[in-house]
Structure 1
């Protein structure tokens, strides 16, 4: 077998001792240095003096190795693994080999620690999951002046109304909540004036109107030129004059 999934218990063999003690182990003549102890261990198992650990997948390796070396991979004071090599040659591994494996183990440990930090940072930076929408609100849009109504209550019109309608349609159709100023500025359907400040002013007006009315739709600034659409109710979009909703989120 490939040996994938094989386990070595702490204190078992060269690998287990290196893991238990947290230090490199190098044996140059397995037959004289190690096999005697292994034979004693097998005798103790046969006599019932030791409990044999369960075996499901055998550990891969040479049938009759004469040299073995094991170097632990340590991260934050904990042994996470062991680098192991063996050879049929007697005295195959020397101090230089141990130093080389120790260097590899140290770099591997640093990389594991870095990956853990990156994962922790990513989890900390992830926005909290949005609560499930409660209830339904119908958003009506009148194309002639881009007026927007929530149910039967007027909310806003003009460029700000067109922006809100565009964001809500995108959200309903795709589930998207994260947006940027640039994509709005480049959208010809909004017919924005050439000045960039005009878009920023309309977004500020829209955000304030939503906050003042304390409705179920909000716009939150998330960065330079970035913002998030937040809805606390299920949205039904309806063009003025149409009897049925265009879409549902």
Structure 2
């Protein structure tokens, strides 16, 4: 393969999708046709993949005459390159196809057009040669040194973490301090509800802990559903991302029921993001959640950033699995050694709705689902006996909580409950007292109502 001194890797920024590529083909009698291509993707040092979405003239030509020329532009330097291609095959499954389909679906869902853009296949082309097109250009941007060292530093910090709260905080601080990623979040999977919920974030005005995204919605939901990274480097739709990707109301509940009103925890994402990347958290073949980052800048995340985030997400997922598999406390919790604080003030009215285990404190929504069921169990035990110390193990053994048999994410649900209480109910909080142990602290009288 002759490339006239150029390698496909050297011009990889041209294949980021910031500017559509222009493809020229010819039919059997030599009549040319020119069209824009929505996706031109790097596959390896010798191949690119072009999106096949429509049975159009370009598609007809390439099946009759397998050679094509594609003009691509480096958005950093304004340099043009011409790729001379030879069509080899079309893939309708596999990692290349799934990655392209996920990115297209993410863009479509972001724009509120999910289901409109259907990727029929990924056309794989051999790159026979690459030509630099003469013309004025800009100097290339400076290299970003120290990325591998940043990965090593973050990896070492994550390896020392002994709890989920510490691990998530370490991961997000690594992104911020060493990779200069100012807006990021971690979401965990609720497999039963087929949705993700935010457990940690940084860089936003509100944490958004507890906000939900259904599988298949937006960049985050598509990355989770397809289990492949999705990166969008040039979001041009100015509509609010939060409006396009999520609706935290139960799709099967009566929209007019009083139970549902006020249960929409605001999603913490940027109102007008220009770059986004979502990486699934997968361990031992199981989806655990998503690591997500975004920026108000165009083209903030390149392929090297994606590679780094995939490496970090892999370690994060493995660490979460290891923490869940760590030995738990088997003995019954010991009575509280500290004297519980005296209760004062008006009683807090806690209402529990069994339909979806949603919990309201003084008419303000707190939480729902498994975390809501856990909270009500703790309150019942506390009101019945004054108990304040609990263990993770006893929660796992309680059939009333309906925890999944595999990957119950109990630590993540407890962390979610702890942070929701911190942000919304200063008179009730949960504090960790050891491995697999925690304490419920109540500062005001309680009235628990089951609705």
- Report the TM range for the smaller structure's normalisation: 0.3 to 0.5
Bigger radius of gyration:
1
Which structure shows the higher helix fraction? 1
The structure, 1 or 2, with the larger RCO (C-alpha pairs under 8 Å, 6+ apart) is: 1
Structure-2-length-normalised TM-score: 0.25
Structure-1-length-normalised TM-score: 0.44
